Amino acid sequence: MAAIPFPCKASDSVTSAINPFNWVPEKVKEKFGMKTRETESEEEVAAAKKEAEERGESSIFETVTVAEPEPPLPSPDATKPLDASPKEDSAVQIERKGDSHKYSTAVFKISHRKLNMIGRQISGKPIDHAILQMQFSEKRASTRIMNMLATARDHAVRYKGLDGQRLVVAESWVSKGKHNRKRLEPKGRGHVGIQVHPQAKLSIVLKEGRTLEEQKAKEKAFKLKRIVSAAVTREDKPIRNPGAMWAW
């Protein structure tokens, strides 16, 4: 029994000859007498450009000259001497317009009793420490108070010329809202009550005072000053007018 030959795969040359995209452009060029454009050399291109320039038909892009980039201007910091002291920039500092700055939140929905707890928490503390307290507080109004403290600190530095590193929350108080919202509260057996939604706002006054490190140093010095004797250890000074008996 003769073996049945399997169909063989056509080679790349046969496939390219059968592909219409290869021979259709050649047939079209032969029919219309089109010739393949040859790549011109650099000498021919330069000669063609020179002839077009003599006829006044040169391209506008070849006539425009490219301007060289100007060197960058030196920064004002580069012109300063290296040994310039910071006192020369004192004119840039904002003029001091007061010794305190008052700021407050808008009236928002909260009980004045709850808001007063936050006011007592930040009162007397440095501004950065008060902002840190509000950042980690679990109170619902802590985020609003934190943003208010940050805004008050920036305004005190920019508009009043105060030192932002020494600002302290000198005063804080709570004010009730003028118009508290009232709602009907239905009850049983045909009765109805009035439910009041309180409103309040927090006001603060920022002043320059001691920083947290200075407060700790003052408290430590006060405690050390109260220590008169080192327990049962004798002092260097002599004992004057000693008693006849023990003091206990």
* Closest to 169 (Cα-Cα) out of 233, 213, 118: 118
Mean pLDDT of 65-70: 70
* Closest to 195 (Cα-Cα) out of 187, 184, 210: 184
Decide if 66 is inside a domain.
no
Into how many domains does the chain fold? 1
Q: What is the CATH number of the domain that holds 168?
A: 3.90.470.10
Among 84-98, 159-173, 175-189, the range with the most confident prediction by mean pLDDT is: 159-173
Identify the domain containing residue 122 by its residue range.
95-213
Decide if 155 is inside a domain.
yes
pLDDT at 108 over 80: yes
Residue 72 token pair: 């960058």
Decide if 242 is inside a domain.
no
* Closest to 95 (Cα-Cα) out of 185, 157, 45: 157
In which band, very low, low, confident or very high, does the pLDDT at 104 lie, cut at 50, 70 and 90?
Answer: very high
| pLDDT tens digits, one per residue of 21-32 | 677 777 777 777
**What's the predicted TM-score (pTM) here?**
0.54
CB 104 within 8 A of CB 147: no
CB 177 within 8 A of CB 201: yes
Decide if 24 is inside a domain.
no
Decide if 117 is inside a domain.
yes
